Amino acid sequence: MSDLPGSAADLLPLLTRAERLLSRRVGGVLAAESLSIEAWRVLCLLADGRGHPMSAVATEASLPPGTLTKLVDQLVDRNLVFRRIDPADRRRIRAYLTARGRREHERLSAQIRADLAGLAAPGDADLAARLGDLIGRLDPDRHHIPAPAPA
């Protein structure tokens, strides 16, 4: 990210503001579906179909474990998510999208992309890759659940 002006510290207020504005915009689309931004983050994390330990989902979604449990309970009640005991470590619980959850994720992802299409600018894909690199440098020891690939 050396070609960005300023230091990494200068990015904090810019990234914070961009995240808040983007969350507000996406939240408007999700509100019609009675979904929160936090629920959307969980659905996106689980969209790769591999299932993830609840602890990893809590970390990646930036939610305390108790809050995540309540949120996942709501998503289970809506038949969007299910939990299973991890076959490799029976002490862990993994979360997955249901078939309905996959369909809803795809449908909402398309709606969100359409809503945000007018904001696209040249270099956005490069910016996203560079932000991913920055995240990796800031937290090199933790395995990150990759974001869904653009459609």
Q: Reply yes or no on whether the pLDDT at 148 is more than 80.
A: no
pLDDT in tens, 6-25: 677 788 888 999 999 999 99
Q: Where are the alpha helices (DSSP H) in 4-123?
A: 8-31, 37-46, 54-60, 65-77, 99-116
pLDDT (0 to 100) of residue 121: 86
pLDDT in tens, 106-122: 999 999 999 999 888 88
pLDDT (0 to 100) of residue 136: 86
> Is residue 54 packed enough to be buried (19+ CB in 10 Å), middle (13-18) or exposed (0-12)?
middle
pTM of structure: 0.81
Residue 140 DSSP one-character state = T
| Domains detected in the chain | 17-116 (1.10.10.10)
